[in-house]
Amino acid sequence: MKTGRHRLLTGPSRKPPIDLRPLPHDGSAVPSKPKKSPAPGPVPRRFETEAIHAGHGYASETGAVTPPIYATSTFAYGNPGGFDYTRSGNPNFRNLDAALAKLEKAAFCTSFASGVSAITAVVSTLRSGDVVHAEENIYGCTYRLFAQVFAKFGVGIEYYDFTQPENFARIAREKPALVWIESPTNPLLKVIDIAAVARVTRSSGVPLLVDNTFASSYLQSPLELGADLSLLSTTKYTNGHSDALGGAVCTNSTDWQGKMIFAQKALGLQPSPFDAWLTLRGAKTEAIRMERHCANALAFARHLERKPGVRFVRHPFLPSHPQHAVASLQMRGGSGMVTADLGFDLDRTQRFLSLLQFFPKAESLGGVESLCCHPATMTHASVPLETRLRVGITDGLVRFSVGIEHIDDLIADLDQAWNRSC
């Protein structure tokens, strides 16, 4: 029988195949059997590969390429995974923990129900009488938690401008229980030299926490820069689709990891299995999303900077940014955040924001869609007026979360709202 130009050989008349392997260099005969190949070693994985392939546990029984949602509150005792009750652990949490640990270059990660839950977990480790040193420009909910919740339990906090190295001496002198910084900060996008702060905290025996939310795991690795804890609101860039809440704390310390697991269980701070599943799905595209966020935001910032009357525009990779040199050293890109003081009064600022078509006025950030926010009346409304003004949160300050839409459309939207609000 023939098939095309090739004859199919069957039965005993079939000839042995010709050995086409090259001769050994010494000219000796080719061995009759090939040597057994050694077992493959681990292949190095970069961020983009880890994001897709990490966090796929508990699939050996089914071969599922995408891990399923384990929508169960309890587990039969004696199962191979050691699960008992979802508040104490669930395969979706564990998968997310494994993936985020890889992306943050950490030994451990503990996932939580939200960024605020992650903050609560860390602060729950402090004792009455402890004092925290924090960057003065900080997330409004972090400020509110310390001022209105943790203060009742005797935990104090002092705020300093950590872009000024002279404030580092306070750490060595006063030895706070914890140093808490964001970089870039919310909403002013100040960039803190994490490695410089870490050198002081390490020599003083003080743990350093970096809120990495505005940078993202793709753009910045706080633990490699010397931090003890890296905190994320995974609601933002990690998930990237504005459809799930979550938080995470990453560390290389077994002691801190034990504390985080205890807080997750004892305080009921665990995420839902569905939100953990959504976040793991979102993380798979974090790298490619962040590249577009960074490119769009930088182009948007450059265009906005040319508008007449604008007091300042902040984006970490704008050359005009006060800490541009630091950002260029510790970040791979400037993120998708742009903050600007438009020089408007409150009424004109609100009118401008209402005229934007592709930037809904909403809290949160880091989704594929663009958003705008008025910090003074939204995210930082709980911060006292005098404190807001002292750090630069004026009525004309606007925070843009620049999405991954076409940049020409975003700039055209900015222009039409600007012109109509004049």
- The one catalytic residue among 70, 139, 159, 218: 139
Which two tokens mark 334? 């400037």
CA angle 318, 324, 327 (to 5 degrees): 110
Bridge pairing between strands 156-160 and 131-135:
parallel
CA dihedral 323, 324, 325, 331 (to 10 degrees): 100
Residue 308: cis peptide before it, omega within 30 degrees of 0 = no
Is 413 among the catalytic positions? no
CA angle 56, 59, 64 (to 5 degrees): 90
- The one catalytic residue among 58, 87, 130, 348: 87
CA atoms within 13 A on the CB side of 18: 2
Is 236 among the catalytic positions? yes
Residue 184: cis peptide before it, omega within 30 degrees of 0 = yes
Distance CA 282, CA 290 (A): 12
Written as one string, the DSSP assignment of 71-140 is: --SB--TT-TT---BGGG--HHHHHHHHHHHHHTT-SEEEEESSHHHHHHHHHTT--TT-EEEEESS--H
Distance CA 421, CA 276 (A): 42
Distance CA 112, CA 283 (A): 16
C-alpha distances in Å from residue 289, one per residue of 9, 218, 230, 263, 402: 53, 10, 21, 32, 11
Distance CA 185, CA 113 (A): 22
Distance CA 178, CA 381 (A): 25
Which two tokens mark 375? 């910090």
Is 35 among the catalytic positions? no
- Which run of H or of E encompasses 419? helix 407-421
Is 105 among the catalytic positions? no
Bridge pairing between strands 312-314 and 371-373:
unpaired
Which two tokens mark 387? 């404190």
DSSP classification of residue 216: -
- The one catalytic residue among 97, 193, 211, 341: 211
- The one catalytic residue among 94, 236, 284, 289: 236
Residues assigned a catalytic role: 87, 139, 211, 236
